[in-house]
Structure 1
Amino acid sequence: MNMTAALLLSAVVLMGLGAGVWWWLRHPMFAIRAITVQGEVTRNNAITLRANVVPQLQGNFFTLNLDQARQVFESVPWVRAAVVHRDFPNRLRAELQEHQPMALWGDDGANTLLNQQGQVFEANAEDPEVEGLPRLKGPVTQSREVMQMYRYLKPILAAADMEIDRLELSPRGSWRVVTDKGAQLELGRGSQQEVGELVQMFLRTLSQVTARYGRTPTALAAADLRHKDGYALRLKGVSTVEADPRKKP
């Protein structure tokens, strides 16, 4: 009897302690009162973060799920990554990294951008700071490959006074470039090295071909480099097919 009474008393005490701890953990003093933001916050401020984050947080200092809080912060426009910490007794501290855009992504009018890591993210593409960026397009699963091809071709074309305005990878793996002067280059399929060698060969002979018609490379309207032994060229008012200069007649 004494043992039974002792066990019951212990159970009652434990239940009381548990209820007390539960009440204490949920005391209003532990409700999240403030959020401190550190890191890259050039495109967000306290007002936008409060409006986007606070309504979605669930729980107090002790019961808040930090992983869920991290996801909430990362859902805010321009936030690429977040690390969230608790600061006793009722504060959160978030360390943010923002997306650094390198290109517009997708069709005209799409609110998607490509960051320096090759990740596609949603943001206001009408921001004056991003309006002058090139536009890249391709399957989202190959966004990093498109970014790498852009970085590879950019200096090659820049050496010929051409800037990439658009770079597209078709679902079938074919590359297309539109320059800042409106010339469209069909590059076909291939690795970076294969496509790069093809473009370099084309650029080495472009001046010679355009000179035959009294024009300069700035007259280029379109070129199709997918031919096995040469390329098709279209100038303003002139069309021709140039044989591969490496092959003898």
Structure 2
Amino acid sequence: MLLASGLATGGYWLWQRLPAFQLSKVDVLEQVEVRGTFNAVTEEQIKEILLPYLHAGFFSADIRAMRFALLEHPWVIRASINRRWPKGVVVEVSEAQPLAVWGRDRLLVASGALLPRPVQMQVGNLPELAGDEELVGQIMSQYQALASLLTTRDMEVKRLSFDDLSGWHLELVSGIELKLGHDALLERVNRFLSLSRGLLAPYLQKVAGVDTRYGNAVAVQWKSEQE
């Protein structure tokens, strides 16, 4: 028994002291389990990013470098990697969450960044935001304020845009378009909401647009009979 124990201990000692390149030959990583909910990034893309690091082997693989490589992907905001004996790693990835569509090929995310829109990504009913890219932070802030205000059915934001000439322009899910001017945005929207619950309530389906850029009044544009 003592001899067997000594051999076992000696074998472990030798294993611990094998050069890293020899261990790599024995322990090349072959199994990559990817966890996460994927919309912007695919599991195949994750594995492709990690591929150059897998040949280092179980003990020598640079987990820190693998994580940083994943975080270089614009849509990956968090990543963790853990070794799984004997020849694998478990990868967990979190994506940025899109808030709105910006133009044809980009999406606005919660951090305020504009990211390229992945071909395979489904955007569902995301609102559309538009304006000077230098004002993206201001436009995002105004959208978030409006989104918390416009919560009833058909009153959600469909599109919000800003330009220096006409100011803010808001299109609701119902199809009604609001001209809001350059300032007092929430006050003007609240004025419309009060009218929509009162004087305009019976006629909302006939309203095409409302111009709120007047002091204490609004101008209502009605739909044509063909609509």
1:1-80 to 2 correspondence within 5 Å?
A: 24-27=19-22, 28-29=24-25, 31-38=28-35, 40-43=36-39, 46-50=43-47, 52-55=48-51, 57=53, 60=56, 62=60, 64=62, 66-67=64-65, 69-74=66-71, 78-80=75-77
Aligned position for 1:9: none
Of all paired residues, the percent bearing the same amino acid is 22
The amino acid that maps onto 1:122 is P
The 10-residue stretch of structure 1 (84-93 or 215-224) with the greater mean CA deviation from structure 2: 84-93
Q: Distance in 1 between matches of 2:180 and 2:52?
A: 47
Aligned position for 1:83: 80
| Structure 1: tracts of 5 or more residues without a match | 1-20, 239-249
Aligned position for 1:205: 195
Aligned position for 1:163: 156
Q: How many residues align?
A: 204
1:178 positional shift: 1.0
The SS at the match of 2:150 is helix
Give the TM-score, by structure 2 length. 0.64
Aligned position for 2:178: 185
For the pair shown, the structure with the greater C-alpha radius of gyration is 1
Q: Relative to 1, partners in 2 of residues 1:47 and 1:154: Cα closer, same or farther, differing over 3 Å?
A: closer
1:113 and 2:110 are equivalent in the alignment? no
Give the TM-score, by structure 1 length. 0.60
Q: Distance in 1 between matches of 2:193 and 2:123?
A: 29
Q: Relative to 1, partners in 2 of residues 1:227 and 1:59: Cα closer, same or farther, differing over 3 Å?
A: farther
The SS at the match of 1:83 is strand
1:82 positional shift: 1.6
The SS at the match of 2:218 is strand
Question: Alpha carbon RMSD of aligned pairs, Å?
Answer: 4.0
If asked which structure has higher relative contact order (CA below 8 Å, sep 6+), I would say: 2
Q: 1:132 aligns with which of 117, 125, 131?
A: 125
